[in-house]
Amino acid sequence: MPANLRGSVQHFYHFMFGYVLPFLEHASALRDTHRFLVRDCGPLNHLLAELDGFRLQVISAHTLLSGLVGVNEEVGKTPRMIVPGFDSPRAYARDRLLRIRRVVQDLYGERIAAAAASHPATASDRLVLVVDRAPPSPFYRSAASEVRTAGAERRSVPNMAEVHAAIAARHDTLLVRLEGCSLFEQIHLFSRAWRVVGQHGAGLAHMIWARPDAGLVEILPAENGPSVLPPVRLVHFQRLCAVLGLAWNPVMQAGHHAPVDPTDILAALG
C-alpha cells in the first residue's frame, strides 16, 4: 500500500510521486512471485494497466484501506507493505529519485525507447517540449472525485499556441498534451527534452526523467493579480529541479487563465 503524503492519487502528481513510483521502487523485486491489490485511482487506472509484468487487481479505496486497518482474520492473513510516498517537495531526496529512475529504466527501458517512433521530433538534441493542459475528464466533476476539478479547468495558458509558434521560430519544438500520451511516451518525451515549457501542473513531475543538461521554464500563475515573485506555495517543481541539478526559470502569469507574453518565455529559455 503506497502511502501518499497528501492530496488524492486520483490526480497525477500524487498518483506518480505518492503511489506508482514508490510502488515500483519497492515491489519490482516481487513482481514475478506476488499478486498485488492496488486502489482505484479513477481516470488514472489506465496508466496502472500499462505496468506489464505485474499482476495487479484494482479494488476500491475503501476496501483496500479497511484491509489495512481492519481486524477481519482473513484480511489479516494478506501480506501488507506500507510504502512511503514522496509527493511533497520536502520529501524529495536525490538518491531516492535517481534510484527510482534506474528501477523504471530496468523495468521498462525498451518500452520507453520504443515511444520514439511516435515522436520523431525527439531525435533533436535541443528539443523544447511545450506542455499544454487539456480539459479535465468529466470524472472530476462527479461525486466519485476525491478532489474536484483538474487540468485546464484549474489553470490554463489561453495563448499556448502563440507561445509555441514563437519558440518554433528559434528552436526545435514539440507541443503536447500529456493526457493523450501513454505513460511511457510521457517518460520518453521528458527524457529527451533540452527544455520543458509548461504551466505549473502535475505533468511537470516528469522532470524526474530529465537529462542532466535539461531545464524547466515554469509558468507560475499569480494568486491575486500580477506579481514579479513566484508564489511561495508553488515550489514543487522548483524544488525537484534543484534536487536533480536541473535549470529552473519561472515566468510569471497574471492569473490562472491569463495569457503569457511569448518574449518572456524566449528569454527564459536561455
pLDDT in tens, 123-150: 999 999 999 999 999 999 999 999 988 9
Q: Residue 232 — very low, low, confident or very high, per pLDDT cuts 50/70/90?
A: low
| C-alpha to C-alpha distance for 116 and 93, rounded to whole angstroms | 29
> Do 187 and 219 meet the contact criterion of CB atoms below 8 Å apart?
no
State percent of the chain over pLDDT 70.
Answer: 90
Of the listed ranges 4-8, 19-23, 197-201, the least confidently predicted one is 4-8
User: Quick one: pLDDT at residue 52?
Assistant: 93
Nearest to 217 by CA among 254, 247, 175: 247
* Residue 220 phi, psi (nearest 5): -115, 115
Nearest to 160, CA basis, from 151, 232, 72: 151
Mean pLDDT of the chain: 91
- Which residue in 213, 195, 254 sits closest to 204, CA to CA? 195
Numbered ranges of CATH 3.40.50 in the chain: 117-269
Handedness of CA 266, 191, 25, 37 (dihedral sign): positive
Handedness of CA 251, 252, 256, 259 (dihedral sign): negative
> What is the rounded (10 degree) CA torsion for 258, 264, 269, 270?
-160
Residue 73 pLDDT: 58
Residue 176 pLDDT grade (very low, low, confident, very high; cuts 50, 70, 90): very high
Instruction: Check residue 59 and report its DSSP letter.
Output: E
Give the pTM: 0.92
Write the pLDDT tens digit of every residue in 51-99: 999 999 999 988 877 766 554 555 556 666 678 899 999 999 999 999 9
Kindly report the number of other CB atoms within 10 A of residue 264's CB atom.
Answer: 16
Four-way CATH pick for 117-269: 3.40.30, 3.40.50, 1.10.260, 1.10.287: 3.40.50
Q: What's the one-letter identity of residue 36?
A: F
Q: What is the rounded distance in angstroms from the CA atom of residue 151 to the CA atom of residue 132?
A: 9
User: For residue 82, how many other CB atoms are within 10 A of its CB?
Assistant: 10
Instruction: Round to whole Å and give the CA distance between 200 and 203.
Output: 8
- 42-56, 154-168, 192-206, 229-243: which has the minimum mean pLDDT? 229-243
pLDDT at residue 226 tops 70 = no
Question: Which pLDDT does position 222 carry in this prediction?
Answer: 86
175, 195 contact by CB (below 8 A): no
Helix (H, G, I), strand (E, B) or coil at 177: strand
pLDDT value of residue 100: 97
Confidence (pLDDT) at 253: 94
Distance CA 137, CA 182 (A): 16
Cell 502535475 sits at which residue? 202
At residue 117, the pLDDT reads 97
CB 37 within 8 A of CB 55: no
φ/ψ region of 53 (left if φ > 0, alpha if ψ in -120 to 50, else beta) reads: left
pLDDT at 9 exceeding the cut of 60: yes
More confident residue, 224 or 164: 164
The secondary structure of residue 55, as a DSSP letter, is E
Which of 159, 158, 157, 136 lies closest to 148 in space, CA to CA? 136
